């Protein structure tokens, strides 16, 4: 049972496999996770089903706990700020996504498109689909009001609360959201019900076969379901989506698919389960477990490497009395501070999210990166894996103009 600052086992629940209802599984990964202010530090556990090979969080946090996390915690993934300037990695990914789906939108009847979990509306705003009605569904009040201010029609509700009429959409999009649903079967059942016959379903989820080792956690406690190509296809087949196209051009750890609802929807999960070939799934299961083991070792090696490399730098900073800032007011920095005692060195936290400026992260004030140009900071640690290069490019000018020493965790 989970222990940690959130040690109450009553706040977690044990479940059967959401894909095949089998009750037998093996635990493949366990770790403590930094969840931010609302829930603190929790222990998480991930299992793989003995029958179908699906990986899921078990025991999982109860729904009340996750609702509190998403509504109260500014570090929750739905609240994360993204740089959307033309050269940003976020914008490039968005463009690749749009290019893939536009081909398929041309093949279905023009009509109504629903994006589940539309956040501030980046995808819908950039879609540029003439003749379509675009609607967003978003549980966060803040994100909804920003999307509406951008001129989008957005329903502020979760999918479970939304009570939308059945067979009303010609296309449904769900990006980086399916893995979060507390009950994946309710989510897929609702999406299937909302689609018109012949309607298109567009889904993106993390690819569990490509876990990226870093000091923050790839297998985040926010994700209940951890899909592979095989298990995502099985789930969708279970809801009557037989013909699934994967985007083979995706280069990072994600799966992007397009599929269509055919006329007759088959009974819940039956088709998917019938499609399981025990031998094939056994091989896939072993491959998944071996990837997770590689990830576990890779994560340990990276932590050791960063610890060794930064230890000598921090020692030197102490000797020289340098004033240090950390770039990144989020989970990655919590993990970084678990590796080192930087309390004597750090003077400020920097972040690109304007909403955070002036607020506090742990005991430090959060500033805009222009603080690096003020002469008050001698050195900065970039605390991010996904955005390390992007941040480095933006702030490297301060090493020339102010002599600020910039340290990266991952690149040498």
Q: Which residues bind Zn ion (CB under 5 A)?
A: 17, 19-20, 22, 49, 51-52, 54
Which residue's CB is nearer to Zn ion, number 269 or number 325?
269
Phi, psi of 395 (to 5 degrees): -100, -5
| Residue with smaller CB distance to Zn ion, 51 or 170 | 51
Closest CB 262 distance from Zn ion, rounded Å: 24
Rounded Cα gap, residues 217 and 375, in angstroms: 34
Only one residue has tokens 């706990």, namely: 65
Segments in 166-219 forming alpha helices (H): 184-194
Which residue lies nearer to Zn ion by CB, 24 or 107?
24
**Tokens standing for 141?**
């009040």
Q: Which is nearer to Zn ion, 235 or 258 (CB)?
A: 235
Q: Which of 15, 96 has the CB closer to Zn ion?
A: 15
Least distance from Zn ion to the Cβ atom of residue 169, Å: 29
Inter-CA distances, 244 with 41, 62, 174, 176, 209, Å? 38, 32, 15, 18, 18
How many Cβ atoms sit within 10 Å of the Cβ of residue 412?
5
Tell me how far, at minimum, the Cβ of 258 lies from Zn ion, in Å. Answer: 25
Instruction: Output the smallest distance, CB 215 to Zn ion, in A.
Output: 31
β-bridge mates for residue 47, sequence order: 27, 56
Strand 41-49 to 55-57 pairing = antiparallel
49 versus 380: smaller Cβ distance to Zn ion: 49
> Could you report how far apart the first and last alpha carbons of the chain are, in Å?
39
Min. distance of Cβ 276 from Zn ion in angstroms? Answer: 8
Distance of CA 347 to CAs 145, 344, 375, Å?
34, 8, 13
In the complex, minimum distance from the CB of residue 22 to Zn ion, in angstroms, rounded to a whole number = 4
Q: What is the DSSP string of 69-133?
A: HHHH-TTSGGG-----STTSHHHHHHHHHHHHHHHHHTTS-S-EEEEET-TT-HHHHHH--TT-E
- Please state the closest distance from residue 290 (CB atom) to Zn ion, in A: 19
Residue 262: which of 201, 199, 309 has the closest Cα? 199
Give the CA radius of gyration of the chain. Answer: 22
Q: Among residues 20 and 118, whose Cβ is nearest to Zn ion?
A: 20
Least Å from the CB of residue 226 to Zn ion = 12
- Tell me whether residue 54 or residue 335 sits nearer to Zn ion (CB atom): 54
Put residue 275 in one of left, alpha, beta given phi > 0 → left and psi -120 to 50 → alpha: alpha
Q: How far is the CB of 206 from Zn ion (least distance, A)?
A: 19
**Nearest approach, Cβ of 221 to Zn ion (angstroms)?**
21
Which residues neighbour 325 within 8 Å (Cβ) at sequence distance 6 or greater? 346, 347, 348, 349, 350, 367, 371, 372, 377, 379, 380, 381
CB of 53 or CB of 328, closer to Zn ion = 53
φ, ψ at 43 (rounded to 5°): -95, 135
Is the separation of the CB atoms in 239 and 285 below 8 Å? no
Handedness of CA 248, 251, 255, 256 (dihedral sign): negative
**Shorter beta-carbon distance to Zn ion: residue 39 or 236:** 236
């Amino acid at each position: 049972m989970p222990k940690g600052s959130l040690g109450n086992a009553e706040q977690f629940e044990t479940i059967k496999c959401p894909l095949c209802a089998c009750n037998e599984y093996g635990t493949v990964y366990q770790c403590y996770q930094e969840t931010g202010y609302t829930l603190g530090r929790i222990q998480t556990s991930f299992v793989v089903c003995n029958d179908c090979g699906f990986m899921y969080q078990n025991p999982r946090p109860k729904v009340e706990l996750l609702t509190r996390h998403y509504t109260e915690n500014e570090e929750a993934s739905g609240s994360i700020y993204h740089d959307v300037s033309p050269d940003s990695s976020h914008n490039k990914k968005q463009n690749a996504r749009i290019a893939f789906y536009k081909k398929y939108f041309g093949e279905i009847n023009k009509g109504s498109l629903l994006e589940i979990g539309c956040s501030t509306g980046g995808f819908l705003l950039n879609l540029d689909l003439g003749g379509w009605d675009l609607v967003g569904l978003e549980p966060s009040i803040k994100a909804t009001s920003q999307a509406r201010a951008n001129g989008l029609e957005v329903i502020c509700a979760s999918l479970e609360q939304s009570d939308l009429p059945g067979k009303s959409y010609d296309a449904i999009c769900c990006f980086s959201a399916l893995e979060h649903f507390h009950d994946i079967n309710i989510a897929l059942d609702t999406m299937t019900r909302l689609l018109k016959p012949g309607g298109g379903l567009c889904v993106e989820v993390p690819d569990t076969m490509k876990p990226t080792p870093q000091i923050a956690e790839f297998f985040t406690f926010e994700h209940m379901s951890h899909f592979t190509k095989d298990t995502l296809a099985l789930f969708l087949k279970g809801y009557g989506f037989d013909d699934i196209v994967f985007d083979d051009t995706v280069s990072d750890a994600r799966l992007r698919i397009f599929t269509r609802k055919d006329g007759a929807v088959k009974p819940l999960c039956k088709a998917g389960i019938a499609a399981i070939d025990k031998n094939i799934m056994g091989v896939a299961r072993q491959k998944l477990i071996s990837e997770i083991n590689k990830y576990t070792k890779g994560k340990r090696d990276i932590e050791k490497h960063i610890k060794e490399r930064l230890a000598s730098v921090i020692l030197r900073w102490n000797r020289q009395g340098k004033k240090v800032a950390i770039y990144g007011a989020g989970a990655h920095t919590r993990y970084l501070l678990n590796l080192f005692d930087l309390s004597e060195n750090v003077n400020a936290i920097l972040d690109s999210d304007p909403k955070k400026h002036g607020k506090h992260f742990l005991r430090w004030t959060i500033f805009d990166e222009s603080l690096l140009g003020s002469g008050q900071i001698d050195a900065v640690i970039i605390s991010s894996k996904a955005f390390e290069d992007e941040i480095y490019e933006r702030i490297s000018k301060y090493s020339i103009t102010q002599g600020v020493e910039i340290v990266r965790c991952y690149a040498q």
